[in-house]
Amino acid sequence: MTYQEFCSSFLTQLTEKWELGVKPGEVQFYPEGLSEGDVRYDEQFVRETNLRYNQTESDVLIGDYVTVAKAKNEQMKQISRFSLEELYDRQMEEGWESVWKQVQDSLHAAGEMMETGVLEQMHNYEQIRDKLVIRPVCFNDCRRELREYVYERYGDVALVLYLTVYDGERGLGTVKVPRTTADGWKLPRKRVWEDAMLNTYVAAPPRLYLDPVDCIHAPYEKGEFMSENSAIQKLDPERAPLLTTTRKLNGAIAIFYPGVKERLARLSGGSYYVAFTSVNEACIHPAGTILPIRILRSLKHLNRTCGEAERLSQKVFFYDAEDGSFKTVEF
């Protein structure tokens, strides 16, 4: 069976199999190459899908996808997304039965999430996996509390595993994931962490603003620096660019995204210092352009003037381009 034959057969059977309960009006097909100008174009869907499945930012869809939208009412909807290429590979290796089991499991999980809510499903990893995110917090401010939760520590910065309860008109609502809950998933912590970091990256890709003022009301594309054809190819040694995310909120997490530290090293021409000026951002200083003690003084002054909720770190960090280490600077 060719890939095109599989796609045609899958789309036909998707609404014919009564056990799936999928109606024609709930299905949407997004073809590879979908771009602005097409009536089916959904900018947010294309960007998030490209990031999640291809780890790249693009406004042109990479790959073929199908979504099934199930609505409980006008305000509550769950969307299941399927990569046709991945399903085709599954069909070739394991047969149609395996394909329909994956589809049915996904639709069932979406239905349960819609009926009971995300918190009630926290024990079921597969159902809440896409809602896990990582947020940076000041370790010293919540040292005791964090004993009960899942986190990784870098100096005085803690990266904490959260579950997204809502994200929309009401803003962003998250809760920390208890360590006992994560233990109940019986999964390698590395896998959980990688899933959550990918979700965080997809929801808020990294951005680098050469002038801090540029981040104010910046269009989505401005500050993109991870791709090789980015407009940002080298950092000015006389300036300290601002690293954050498209959402800005909790944007300091960007330095911990996969590949970001290495990309910044190439742009900096080597090693560099990092100052977390708030939980929402970090300043990048190429090594040799400023004494780290001056960075520390500026950081401490800034921390004294900002609120406790905004403060992330009292330390200066150093990324060593030679060995890939990321550590605090000791004075």
Residues 7 and 56 in one domain: yes
Residues 313 and 211 in one domain: yes
Residue 110's pLDDT band, with cuts at 50, 70 and 90, is confident
Residue ranges of alpha helices (H) inside 204-330 are 260-268, 292-305
pLDDT for the residue 22: 93
Residue 212's pLDDT band, with cuts at 50, 70 and 90, is confident
Between CA 291 and CA 146 the distance in angstroms is: 33
Checking if the pLDDT of 115 tops 80, the result is no
Return the minimum-mean-pLDDT range out of 67-71, 76-80, 132-136, 284-288.
76-80
Residue of 169 and 24 predicted with greater confidence? 24
pLDDT for the residue 155: 96
pLDDT for the residue 119: 82
For residue 15, which amino acid is it?
Answer: T
Residues 211 and 199 in one domain: no
Residues 223 and 321 in one domain: yes
Averaged confidence pLDDT in the chain: 93
Residues 8 and 66 in one domain: yes
- Residue where the block lists tokens 């401010």: 141
Residues 57 and 152 in one domain: no
Residue 197's pLDDT band, with cuts at 50, 70 and 90, is very high
Q: Which residues, 6 or more positions from 5, have their beta carbon under 8 angstroms from its beta carbon?
A: none
pLDDT for the residue 78: 82
pLDDT for the residue 94: 96
pLDDT for the residue 301: 94
Residue 122 lies in a domain: no
Percent of the chain with pLDDT over 70: 98
Token output for 6:
């599989």
- When pLDDT is averaged across residues 222-235 and rounded to a whole number, the result is 92
Q: Are 160 and 176 in contact (CB under 8 A)?
A: yes
**118-129 pLDDT per residue, tens:** 888 899 999 899
Residue 304 lies in a domain: yes
pLDDT for the residue 73: 65
Residues 19 and 97 in one domain: yes
Residues 62 and 27 in one domain: yes
Residues 180 and 233 in one domain: no
Between CA 33 and CA 63 the distance in angstroms is: 7
Query: What is the SS3 assignment for 278?
Result: strand
Query: What is the SS3 assignment for 40?
Result: coil
pLDDT for the residue 83: 96
- When pLDDT is averaged across residues 279-296 and rounded to a whole number, the result is 96
- Residue where the block lists tokens 């990266």: 159
Token output for 298:
């500026």
Q: Which of 91, 116, 141 is the last residue of a domain?
A: 116
List the domain range (segments joined by +) for residue 26: 3-116
Checking if the pLDDT of 170 tops 90, the result is no
